Chains A and B, each alone.
Chain A
Amino acid sequence: MAGLEIPTWDPETALLIGVILFEAFVLYAGYGGLERLVGPYLMDLVVGGDSSAR
């Protein structure tokens, strides 16, 4: 075993992880908005829908 290592502060790595976290938030919000916007249209397209006519 190489021994346990205490994490040390590394601004460059912190920025890297921060970018991944930011991307996750943006994707969560972005895809959520996209789902509300084009979700019903896509559903009709894929399922062969007539829900809008009903």
Chain B
Amino acid sequence: MLALFVGFGLVVGVLFGFFGMGGSFLVTPALLMLDYPAPVAVGSGMAFVFGTAVIATLKHHDLGQVDYKLGVIMITGTTIGIEAGRASVYYLESMGLAGGVISVAYVVLLGGVGAMVTRDALKGDGGGVDHEAADKDLDEYEIPEIAKKIQRTVRIPPMVTLRGDVRVSAWVITAVAFATGVLSGFLGVGGGFIRMPAMIYAIGVPVPVAVGTDLFEIVFSGGLGSYLYGQGGGVNLGIVAPLLFGSALGARVGSAATAVVNSDDIKVYFGGMLLVGSIAVGIGEVGSYLGNSTLELLGLVLVIGAAVVVAFAVLYTTVTSLRVTRQQQTSAAD
């Protein structure tokens, strides 16, 4: 079981490091399918996100991509949201509905985000983090039209100025933070896959600042969420420690891979993985409902298998790209 957690952490770390999102997306449903109680699956998933976010924020801080003012305002909204989400998990647990409701929410969310990423990737637009865009200067970023409209329409004071000369109402930031906080507390996810696009399209901050600030914010929301779940006995160090051991290495490899691989090549696999994940959770839940252990096992194999396949696709493409580059350098030198 220890080796399984380290290996799974490694796989999730590669995906998190490469795509900048999806850290806990696979962990909580996998733990639910391994028959851990819902508060332990969600609490340990959140503690895992907390640890991974600490490591990723340290990297982004060095690159100057963290807006601490934005982060502090978002923490306020997220703190209330995460508590509301967490309280609803315990409420559902007391009614014996938590596992089912969380699984259904996962199916909808994984399927929705998976379909969106796959559609964008097939259009050539790409989902998740644009690695090339992350290398631009902050003042080169154009604010999305929808963000400009929100900035013009919602001018409730206090107004705040963020990095990249973005001026926005603190209430917009708080609303985005609260909504994603509820999601984070309820599902035990970092919420980055929703919060990051929300920061870009609703608040209008540049992409790298959205990524760095999101991670900084997850350190606090994940830390608080883990603490609250920990008080209820929901954090299992025997799960979190080996997952983190694997994910810290995987995240390093995944981050390094972004420098050599065109992420558009693989985003379609990532979207497909989320779609397979949603189907897997659905199959597992049907199996659990029917008392069919074969279906439950099939669900678990599918969710882990999809993550493993995409992680290997990332590694394979990275090694292939490096070999091509090396051969070109050798030919040029000859």
Q: Using CB atoms and an 8 Å cutoff, list the residues of chain A in contact with chain B.
A: 1-5, 7-8, 10, 13-14, 16-17, 19-21, 23-25, 27-28, 31-32, 35, 43, 46-51, 54
- Whether a CB of chain A sits under 8 angstroms from the CB of B322 is yes
- B164 → chain A, closest Cβ, in Å? 27
Is the CB–CB distance between A50 and B330 below 8 Å? Answer: yes
Chain B residues closer than 8 Å to A51, beta-carbon distance:
326
Give the distance in Å from the alpha carbon of A51 to the alpha carbon of B87 in the complex: 56
Is the CB–CB distance between B323 and A31 below 8 Å? Answer: no
Is the CB–CB distance between A10 and B51 below 8 Å? Answer: no
With CB as the reference atom, state the residue of chain B lying closest to A27: B248
CB<8 Å pairs between A and B, sample of 22 = A2-B88, A2-B91, A4-B83, A4-B87, A7-B231, A13-B230, A13-B231, A16-B235, A16-B237, A17-B223, A19-B241, A20-B47, A20-B51, A20-B226, A20-B235, A21-B50, A21-B51, A24-B51, A27-B245, A28-B54, A28-B55, A31-B248
Give the interface centre of A17, A35, A48, A54 by most chain B CB atoms within 10 Å: A17
Chain B residues closer than 8 Å to A32, beta-carbon distance:
252
- Whether a CB of chain A sits under 8 angstroms from the CB of B297 is no
Chain A residues closer than 8 Å to B228, beta-carbon distance:
5, 7
Chain B residues closer than 8 Å to A28, beta-carbon distance:
54-55, 58, 248
- B36 → chain A, closest Cβ, in Å? 17
